[in-house]
Amino acid sequence: MKPLIAIIDWAKSPLSDSTAAVERGVIRDAAEVRTFLCASDADFTEEILGASALIVWHNTPVTAAGIARLRHCRAIIRNGVGFDSVDITAAKRAGIPVCNVPDYGTEEVADHAIALAMALCRQLFPLNAEAKQLGWTIRVTEKLRRLRTQTFGIVGLGRIGTATALRAKALGFQVHFYDPYLPNGVDKAIGIARERSLNDLLRRADVLSLHCPLTDETRHLVAARELALMKSSAFVVNTARGAVVEKAALFRALREDRLAGAGLDVVEDEPLKTAEEAATPNLIVTCHAAFCSVESKAEMRATSARIARAAALGEPLENVVS
């Protein structure tokens, strides 16, 4: 019998194509391909537990308990950039490589971050609301910014952070970044400024844009203490992972007018849970959609399928993170 590659999609909000046309086109006759809807790994069926590879869509947790039940798995592929939904320590103990797709949505996420920043700096949503009330009063004059006088601060200068930096630079922002893991000279290569501490970047930034993975080190990287260091006129943009920013501290800062605004594509414990959260002032929220485009989705699925096919055939794997 052919090995099985199981595509695991989140039952609460499935994004996959039930026909798996892209994946089948890549995997061809190397394995059988089937799609399963699961709320968590507690829903894994006997078929899934016997699969040679798992392709896991967003928000379906794969825990140590689920990993321990896998019988023949040669790879768990997170169908996206982030892999915090997979217990990579447990996978490593079980000898199962964990892979991701780090580059499929680089352009889209960078574009989305800039779109959120521009909407905040130019106050598009308050102005839209005023115009649609048949009014013409510019009530947000003090928040409208000339971009070339503003410092665009980036945390994490990886693929997406770099793409965002280049876009911000082209718009005239003064771009600064903080990333303790990059060698000296990166700032010279792309013509932006480097901050040697997160605190210095927080104090300087007029727009703070987050582009780091969610790890034990970065969870609540921006919380009450960090927000207190920022200018009250500053904006926070997060297109990375929700829990990089402590939701309660950020929303409190917005309600108390200690921050001018925030643009979030990701939220800690997403989606928003209450009407009170949704009513937080000066807040723009999108539906964890920064990665999304017709082109990026096809690229992501094809890359995941290519890695899964290699796993099923016992070939070397790309993008191993564990």
pLDDT tens-digit readout, 253-270: 999 999 999 999 999 999
pLDDT at residue number 322 = 87
pLDDT at residue number 130 = 97
On whether the CB atoms of residues 250 and 226 are closer than 8 A, the answer is: no
Q: How far apart are CA 118 and CA 143, in angstroms?
A: 12
Nearest to 223 by CA among 200, 261, 249: 249
| Active-site residue set | 241, 270, 288
Nearest to 76 by CA among 1, 2, 6: 6
Token code pair at residue 235: 């904006």
Q: Peptide bond before 271: cis, by omega within 30 degrees of 0? A: yes
pLDDT at residue number 13 = 86
pLDDT at residue number 293 = 94
pLDDT at residue number 81 = 86
Query: In the chain, which residues have pLDDT < 70?
Result: none
pLDDT at residue number 250 = 98
- This prediction has a pTM of 0.85
Q: How far apart are CA 107 and CA 213, in angstroms?
A: 17
Residue ranges of domains in the chain, CATH in brackets? 4-104+294-313 (3.40.50.720), 106-285 (3.40.50.720)
pLDDT at residue number 1 = 82
